[in-house]
Amino acid sequence: MKYGLRGTRSLHLMLLPSLILLIIFAYLPMAGIVIGFQRFIPAKGLFGPQEWVGLYYFKYAFQLPEFRDALFNTLYISFMKIVAGIVTPVVFAILLNELRLALLKRSIQTIIYLPHFLSWVILAGVFVDILSPSYGIVNRLLQSFGIEPIFFLGSNAWFPYVLVATDTWKEFGFGTIVYLAAITSIDPNLYEAAIVDGANKWRQIWHITLPGMLPIIMLLTLLSIGSILNANFDQIFNLYSPQVYKSGDVLDTLVYRIGLLDANYSLSTAIGLFKSVVSCILISIFYYIAYRFLNYRIF
Amino acid sequence: MKPTVGERIFYACNTVFLIAVALLCIAPMVHILAVSFSANDMVTSGQVTFWPKQFTLIAYEYILENKLFWRGMWNSFVRIVIGVSLNLLLVVLAAYPLSKEKHHFRFRTVYAWIFFITMIFGGGLIPWYMVIKELNLLNTIWALVLPGAVPIFLVLIMLNFFRGLPAELEEAALIDGCGHWRMLFQIFVPLSKPALATIAVHAILGQWNSWFDGLILMNEPNKYPLITYLQTAVVNIDYDNLTDAEIQRFALLGERSNKAAQIFLGSLPVILCYPFLQKYFTKGLVLGSVKG
Q: How far apart are CA B132 and CA B218, in angstroms?
A: 11
Which residue of chain A has the CA closest to B255? A129
Q: What are phi and psi of A38, to 5 degrees?
A: -125, 155
Please give the average per-residue pLDDT across A196-214, as a whole number: 89
Mean of per-residue pLDDT scores for chain B? 87
User: What is the pLDDT, as a whole number, of residue B138?
Assistant: 95
The pTM assigned to this predicted structure is 0.90
Distance CA B52, CA B245 (A): 27
Query: Does A18 contact chain B (CB < 8 Å)?
Result: yes
The reported pLDDT for the residue numbered A130 is 92
Say yes or no: A137 contacts chain B, CB-CB below 8 A.
yes
Domain that holds residue B46: 1-56
CA distance A235 to A257: 15
Mean per-residue pLDDT for A80-86? 96
Residue B291's pLDDT is what?
31
pLDDT tens column, A231-243: 999 999 999 999 9
| Higher-pLDDT residue of A297, A176 | A176
Please check the confidence at residue B253 and state whether its pLDDT lies above 70.
Answer: no
Q: Which residue has the higher pLDDT, A178 or B128?
A: B128
Residue A257: other Cβ atoms inside 10 A: 18
Which of A170-174, B5-9, B185-189 is least confident? B5-9
Q: Do B105 and A42 touch (CB under 8 A)?
A: no
Per-residue pLDDT reduced to its tens digit, B154-200:
999 899 889 888 888 888 888 888 889 998 999 899 998 888 988 99
Q: How confident is the model over A2-61, as pLDDT tens digits?
A: 565 457 889 999 999 999 999 999 999 999 999 999 999 998 989 889 999 999 999 999
- Answer for the pair A226, A286: CB distance below 8 angstroms, yes or no: yes
Instruction: Flag whether residue A224 sits within 8 Å of chain B, measured between CB atoms.
Output: yes
Last residue of a domain, one of B14, B38, B56: B56
Closest by CA to A258, choosing from A272, A244, A243, A268, is A268
- Taking each helix axis from N to C end, the angle separating B255-281 and A120-130, rounded to the nearest 10 degrees, works out to 140
Q: Is B53 exposed, middle or buried (0-12, 13-18, 19+ CB in 10 A)?
A: middle
Would you call A233 exposed, middle or buried from its count of C-beta atoms within 10 A (0-12, 13-18, 19+)? middle
Q: What tens digit of pLDDT does each residue of B117-142 get?
A: 999 999 999 999 999 999 999 999 99
pLDDT, mean of residues B245-251: 60
pLDDT over threshold 60, residue B284: no
The distance from CA B277 to its chain's CA centroid, rounded to whole angstroms, is 10
- Same domain membership, residue B193 and residue B117: yes
Listed residues B33, B56, B79: the one ending a domain: B56
For chain A, say whether B123 makes contact (Cβ under 8 Å).
yes
Which of helix, strand or coil describes residue B264?
Answer: helix
Q: Which residue from A253, A223, A289 is spatially nearest to A71, judged by alpha carbons?
A: A253
Is B167 found in the same domain as B223?
yes
pLDDT digits (tens, 9 = 90+) for B32-85: 999 999 888 888 777 888 988 888 888 898 888 889 999 999 999 999 999 999
How many cross-chain Cβ pairs, A to B, lie less than 8 Å apart?
Answer: 286
Query: Are B96 and B139 members of one domain?
Result: yes
Q: Could you please report the per-residue DSSP string of A187-254?
A: -HHHHHHHHHTT--HHHHIIIIIHHHHHHHHHHHHHHHHHTTT---HHHHHHH--GGGHHHH--HHHH
| Smallest CA–CA distance from B45 into chain A, residue | A135
| CB contacts, 8 Å: B14 with chain A | 95, 98-99
In terms of domains, do B238 and B138 share one?
yes
Put simply, the answer to whether B123 touches A15 (Cβ < 8 Å) is no
Number of structural domains found in chain B: 2
Q: What is the mean pLDDT of residues A172-179?
A: 91
User: Which pLDDT score, from 0 to 100, does residue B129 have?
Assistant: 95
Same domain, B32 and B171: no
| CATH code where residue B218 lies | 1.10.3720.10
Q: Are residues B166 and B253 in the same domain?
A: yes
Q: Are residues B30 and B159 in the same domain?
A: no
Shortest distance between the Cα of A209 and any Cα of chain B, in A, equals 17
Both B18 and B146 in a single domain? no
How high is the mean pLDDT of chain A? Answer: 91
pLDDT tens profile A97-121: 988 888 999 899 989 999 999 999 9
Check whether residue B214 and residue B171 sit in a common domain. Answer: yes
**Based on the domain organization, do B21 and B145 belong to the same domain?**
no
Average pLDDT, integer, range B265-277: 88
Q: Do A17 and B7 touch (CB under 8 A)?
A: no
Contact A252, A231 (CB under 8 A): yes
Same domain, B168 and B191: yes
pLDDT at A205 over 60: yes
CA atoms within 13 A on the CB side of B242: 16
First vs last Cα of chain A: how many Å apart? Answer: 21
Reply yes or no on whether the pLDDT at B287 is more than 80.
no
Taking only residues 180 to 219 of chain A, the set having a beta carbon closer than 8 angstroms to any beta carbon of chain B reads 181, 195, 201, 216, 219
Residues of B in contact with A15 (CB under 8 A): 93-94, 97-98, 111
Statement: residue B241 has pLDDT above 60: no
- What's the N-to-C CA distance of chain B in angstroms? 50
pLDDT at B175: 83
Chain A contact for B50 (CB, 8 A cutoff): no
